[in-house]
C-alpha cells in the first residue's frame, strides 16, 4: 500500500514538474523576452522552480539568458529570451495528386517548402523513400542537426487512427489500412498522423483566425467536404475517431449517390467538385478549375450565377445543421473554395442567418481560413510540437 502511494506521489510530482515547465516555456514564447521574476509572478510558482526549469530549457537550447532588465531596487532581473529556431518539425500533406513537404520552426514559420507530383499513392513505400531523401537534403542545406528535429506530422485525406499510426481509409487517393508506424525507422524521426480537416482545425486554432474563441468547426471544402471540430481546446474525434464527417450528412433524402454508399450527402451538393460538375453539365464551355468558373461568375454568365446560387443554398443548409448540433464560436471555411469567398460569402451568411428561434449573426462568426492552403500542412507540422508545448492535451 505504501509503495503504491509513493509511486502515485512520484507520478504526481512528475506531472506538476512537466506542467510548470510547459507553462514557463509557453509564457516565454508568448512574451519573447521575460524576466525570471515576472515568470514567477505570472504563473504563480517560486523563483527556485523557475530557475530550475529555465536552466533545463537553456541546456536544451530552447531559451537563452539575454542580459538584465532595469532594476527598481536590489539585483537587476535576468531576461530570458525564446529561441524559435532552436527546434524544427516537418509537415507533410497528401492531396489527390501531390505531396507537399514543409519545415517549420517553433513559431510555425515555414523555412522550407516543396511539392512533388504523385501518379498513385498505392506505391506508398516509394513515396516515403522520396520524402526521406528530400528531408535529408533539407537538413544538409539548412545545416540542421538531427537532434533538433522534433518529428514529422502527416496530414492525410481520410480516416486515421493517430494512436496506431494507421490510415484506415482514404477513398479519394485509393488506399486503405496503411501502417505509418513502419516508416518511423526509414524516416529517422517520430511520426504523427492526422486527418486533413482535423489538422487544418488544429492549425487555425494554433496559428490562424481562431486563437481567442476556441470552439469551432473547420470545413475543408475541396473534392469532398471534411470537418475538424474543436471543443474546449481539444479536437473532438468521437468513439471510433470518425467525428467530423460533415460531408456525409444527408441534406437531400434519396438524393445523389455518394461514394460512401449513401445518398444525398452534403458533399454531393456543396463540394468544389459538385459545383464544377453541375456547371459543366449545363455549359457548352466546360471549366477545369475554380478560377475559370468564378471568372464566368465575374462576367455575369447566367449559368454560372444560377449554379453558384444553388450551391450556396446547399452549403447554407449544411452549415445551419452544424451550428444547431455543435453551437460553435466559429465556422471556418477552408479548402480550395475559401480562395474565392468574395464571390459567395456575403450571400452565404444571409442564407445561414435566416430568421429563426435558435441563433443569429451575433451568436457565431463565419470566416474563411486565414491560413488558406497552409492550414492543414501547418497543423500537421505542429503535431510534433505538442510534446513540447501542450498541457494536458490542450491545443496551445
User: In this predicted model, what pLDDT tens digit does every residue of 190-219 receive, in sequence order?
Assistant: 999 999 999 999 998 888 766 666 689 999
pLDDT for the residue 2: 54
In the predicted model, residues of the chain with pLDDT beneath 50 are 5
The model carries a pTM of 0.85
Continuous H helices in 60-89:
none
- Residues contacting residue 164 through CB under 8 Å, at least 6 positions apart: 179, 181
**Grid cell in block for residue 9:** 506521489
- CA 149 to chain centroid, in Å, comes to 19
Cβ proximity of 92 and 101 under 8 Å: yes
Q: Is residue 72 classed as helix, strand or coil in its secondary structure?
A: coil
Burial of 70 (0-12, 13-18, 19+ CB in 10 A): exposed
Q: Where are the beta strands (DSSP E) in the chain?
A: 33-35, 63-68, 78-82, 88-94, 98-105, 110-117, 149-156, 159-161, 166-170, 175-179, 191-195, 216-221, 225-231, 234-235, 330-334, 365-368
Stated as kind and residue range, the H or E segment containing 383 is none
pLDDT for the residue 394: 57
In angstroms, the CA 36 to CA 79 distance is: 7
Q: Is residue 277 classed as helix, strand or coil in its secondary structure?
A: helix
In angstroms, the CA 289 to CA 299 distance is: 16
In angstroms, the CA 131 to CA 320 distance is: 41
pLDDT for the residue 10: 53
Question: Bridge-partner residues for 342, per DSSP?
Answer: none
The 10 Å CB-count burial string (b at 16+, else e) for 213-236 is: ebbbbbbbbbbbbbbbbbeeeebb
Cα–Cα separations (whole angstroms), residue 7 to 1, 10, 12, 66, 268: 10, 5, 9, 39, 55
Q: In what order do the strands lie in the sheet with 98-105?
A: 110-117, 98-105, 88-94, 149-156, 191-195
List, for residues 287-326, the tens digit of each pLDDT value.
Answer: 999 999 999 999 999 999 999 999 999 999 999 999 999 9
Using CA atoms in the order 335, 338, 343, 345, what is the torsion angle rounded to 10 degrees?
Answer: 120
In angstroms, the CA 237 to CA 248 distance is: 16
Question: For residue 49, how many other CB atoms are within 10 A of its CB?
Answer: 17
Amino acid at each position: 500500500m505504501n509503495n503504491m502511494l509513493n509511486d502515485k506521489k512520484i507520478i504526481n510530482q512528475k506531472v506538476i514538474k512537466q506542467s510548470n515547465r510547459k507553462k514557463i516555456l509557453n509564457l516565454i514564447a508568448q512574451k519573447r523576452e521575460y524576466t525570471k521574476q515576472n515568470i514567477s509572478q505570472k504563473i504563480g510558482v517560486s523563483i527556485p522552480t523557475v530557475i530550475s526549469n529555465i536552466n533545463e530549457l537553456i541546456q536544451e537550447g530552447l531559451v537563452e539568458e539575454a542580459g538584465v532588465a532595469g532594476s527598481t531596487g536590489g539585483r537587476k532581473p535576468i531576461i530570458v529570451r525564446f529561441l524559435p529556431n532552436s527546434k524544427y518539425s516537418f509537415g507533410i500533406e497528401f492531396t489527390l495528386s501531390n505531396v507537399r513537404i514543409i519545415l517549420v520552426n517553433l513559431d510555425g514559420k515555414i523555412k522550407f517548402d516543396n511539392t512533388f507530383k504523385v501518379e498513385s499513392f498505392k506505391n506508398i513505400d516509394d513515396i516515403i523513400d522520396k520524402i526521406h531523401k528530400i528531408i535529408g537534403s533539407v537538413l544538409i542545406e539548412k545545416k540542421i542537426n538531427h537532434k533538433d528535429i522534433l518529428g514529422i506530422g502527416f496530414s492525410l485525406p481520410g480516416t486515421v487512427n493517430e494512436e496506431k499510426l494507421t490510415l484506415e481509409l482514404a477513398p479519394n487517393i485509393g488506399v486503405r489500412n496503411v501502417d505509418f508506424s513502419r516508416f518511423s525507422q526509414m524516416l529517422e524521426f517520430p511520426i504523427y498522423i492526422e486527418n486533413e480537416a482535423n489538422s487544418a482545425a488544429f492549425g487555425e486554432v494554433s496559428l490562424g483566425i481562431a486563437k481567442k474563441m476556441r470552439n469551432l468547426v473547420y470545413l475543408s471544402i475541396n473534392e469532398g467536404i471534411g470537418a475538424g471540430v474543436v471543443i474546449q481546446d481539444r479536437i473532438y474525434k468521437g468513439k471510433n475517431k470518425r467525428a467530423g464527417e460533415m460531408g456525409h450528412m444527408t441534406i437531400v433524402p434519396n438524393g445523389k449517390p455518394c461514394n460512401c454508399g449513401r445518398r444525398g450527402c452534403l458533399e454531393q451538393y456543396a463540394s468544389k467538385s459538385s459545383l464544377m460538375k453541375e456547371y459543366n453539365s449545363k455549359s457548352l464551355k466546360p471549366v477545369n478549375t475554380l478560377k475559370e468558373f468564378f471568372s464566368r461568375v465575374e462576367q455575369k454568365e447566367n449559368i454560372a450565377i444560377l449554379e453558384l446560387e444553388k450551391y450556396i443554398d446547399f452549403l447554407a443548409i449544411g452549415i445551419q445543421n452544424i451550428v444547431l448540433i455543435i453551437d460553435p464560436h466559429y465556422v471556418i471555411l477552408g479548402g480550395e473554395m475559401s480562395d474565392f469567398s468574395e464571390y459567395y460569402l456575403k450571400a452565404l451568411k444571409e442564407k445561414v442567418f435566416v430568421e429563426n428561434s435558435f441563433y443569429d449573426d451575433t451568436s457565431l462568426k463565419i470566416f474563411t481560413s486565414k491560413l488558406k492552403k497552409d492550414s492543414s500542412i501547418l497543423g500537421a507540422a505542429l503535431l510534433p510540437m505538442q510534446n513540447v508545448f501542450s498541457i494536458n492535451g490542450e491545443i496551445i
